[in-house]
């Protein structure tokens, strides 16, 4: 079915029948084709809410992953200390400062010498302290350095003036001094 204008153009010879049929098919396609809904205000609001939810979920997931990694590191440190710790034995009180207080552990003479050299280290463990070898201390320091209570190799030497060193060099300190 053509419109009256198309009929008149066809009769006057100004248009071809094939051209008129082609235009009619295109118009029919346009009428029956699904038109894409124009993004309105409602669609953009839904998209914004979805993006906010995705971002919130991503942040929560990152937080959960961080907590899981921290828990995993604590478990690894506990396993390392349990595996490498020396049995608590000895009759000598070895004192050291940690968290602003003076703490003590019982050690033997050999352990005391190894602690002074730095081949043994004291680490925090289950509301107490454990003596562990240097290899285990390095593993623990890689995970959480704050759990190392005493490490003579990594301890920073106290800052002193050269004048004080010269003055105190006059006084000899006995080798068997313990505090």
Is the per-residue pLDDT at 35 higher than 90? no
What is the chain's mean pLDDT, rounded?
A: 84
In this predicted structure, what is the pLDDT of residue 40?
66
Tell me the per-residue pLDDT of 3-30, one tens digit each, with 9 for 90 and over. 888 888 888 888 888 888 888 888 888 8
Q: Look up tokens 């609001």; give the residue.
A: 45
Q: What is the DSSP letter of 96?
A: E
Is the per-residue pLDDT at 159 higher than 80? no
pLDDT-derived band at 172, boundaries 50, 70, 90 = confident
H-run or E-run covering 125:
strand 120-125
In this predicted structure, what is the pLDDT of residue 38?
54
Tell me the per-residue pLDDT of 82-141, one tens digit each, with 9 for 90 and over. 999 988 888 888 898 888 889 989 999 999 999 888 899 999 888 889 999 999 999 998
CB within 8 Å of 108: residues ≥ 6 apart: 89, 90, 91, 92
Instruction: Please tell me the distance from the alpha carbon of residue 70 to that of residue 31, in angstroms, as a whole number.
Output: 62
**147 near 121, Cβ under 8 Å?**
no
Instruction: Please tell me the distance from the alpha carbon of residue 110 to that of residue 132, in angstroms, as a whole number.
Output: 14
């Amino acid at each position: 079915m053509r419109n009256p204008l198309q009929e008149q153009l066809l009769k006057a010879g100004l248009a071809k029948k094939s051209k008129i049929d082609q235009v009619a098919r295109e118009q029919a396609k346009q009428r029956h084709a699904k038109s894409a809904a124009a993004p309105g205000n409602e669609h953009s609001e839904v998209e914004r809410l979805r993006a906010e939810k995705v971002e919130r979920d991503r942040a929560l997931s990152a937080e959960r992953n961080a907590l899981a990694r921290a828990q995993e590191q604590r478990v690894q440190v506990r396993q390392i200390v349990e595996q490498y710790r020396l049995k608590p034995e000895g009759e000598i009180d070895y004192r050291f400062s940690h968290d602003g207080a003076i703490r003590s552990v019982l050690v033997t003479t050999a352990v005391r010498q190894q602690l002074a050299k730095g081949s043994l280290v004291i680490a925090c463990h289950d509301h107490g302290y454990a003596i562990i070898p240097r290899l285990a201390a390095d593993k623990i320091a890689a995970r959480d350095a704050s759990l190392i209570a005493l490490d003579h190799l990594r301890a920073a030497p106290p800052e002193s003036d050269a004048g004080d060193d010269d003055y105190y060099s006059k006084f000899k300190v006995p080798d068997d001094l313990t505090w």
